[in-house]
Amino acid sequence: MAGVPILDTARWYDPIFAGVLGGIRELATRMAPSGQGMNMLDVGCGTGRQLAHYQDKGGELFGIDISTQMLNVAKSNLKGEVGLVNGDALQLPYSMATFDLVTSSLFLHQLSAEKRLIVLDEIIRVLKPDGQILLIDFHPYSTHTIIGTLTYLSIAIIEFFAGWEHFSNSRQFLSHGGIPKLTYGQELVLRKSKVVGNGNLGIYLLGLD
């Protein structure tokens, strides 16, 4: 059936991706560190792996995901007080200008073009004026190395097995320029960026313009 994933994502996400993405998540955390007194939100937090990199660094942590299965895994991955919410990123249940740091990791590419913009608007809404946004997502592949091409093909296969709707949204996201094009024209300024994953993943640190 169209739109139904072939893989049980919550069950298999960490066994497939936790090791591969661990170093990238740590690099992203160093680009946007948290500290005492800071509020941090992870949008589409999944199994909580990005939040885990911010534990023991001070500050209050929050995560939101629409999947109860993913959140159940996140609870087992996280220790201490983390405010996990089962909710929709299209309408974040937080007040305006609440967070010092908002992160989203490999989430925006899953959405339709229209929903991506709504989620980005919501992220901007809940961000403090001097806050930062940290996004990790697929980067339009352009290096054309053998390893890079193999990585690109592997990602495409995994995205296909996540379901046709997911795959189509991902292809549209990349064909339209990924995060740089998504954030272009918004009230955002790119502060830092780094392309990793053999040219297939990007880490982007943004702030309000």
200: which DSSP letter?
T
Q: What does the domain layout of the chain look like in residue ranges?
A: 9-208
pLDDT at 4: 37
pLDDT at 150: 81
Planar angle of CA 88, 25, 134, nearest 5 degrees: 55
46: which DSSP letter?
T
Annotate 163-186 with DSSP letters as a single string.
Answer: -HHHHHHHHHHHHTTHHHHHHTTS
- For helices 164-175 and 146-161, the axis angle rounded to 10 degrees is 140
Q: How do the pLDDT tens digits run along the chain, 209 residues long?
A: 233 343 457 676 766 667 778 899 999 999 998 888 899 999 999 999 999 999 988 889 999 999 999 999 999 999 878 999 999 999 999 999 999 999 999 999 999 999 999 999 999 999 999 999 999 999 987 767 888 788 777 777 877 777 888 889 989 999 999 999 999 888 899 999 999 988 889 999 999 98
Superfamily of domain 9-208: Vaccinia Virus protein VP39 (3.40.50.150)
Q: Cα separations (Å) of 127 from 26, 93, 94, 100, 207?
A: 22, 13, 10, 6, 9
- Please give the structure tokens belonging to residue 125: 């809404």
Chain mean position to CA 30? 16
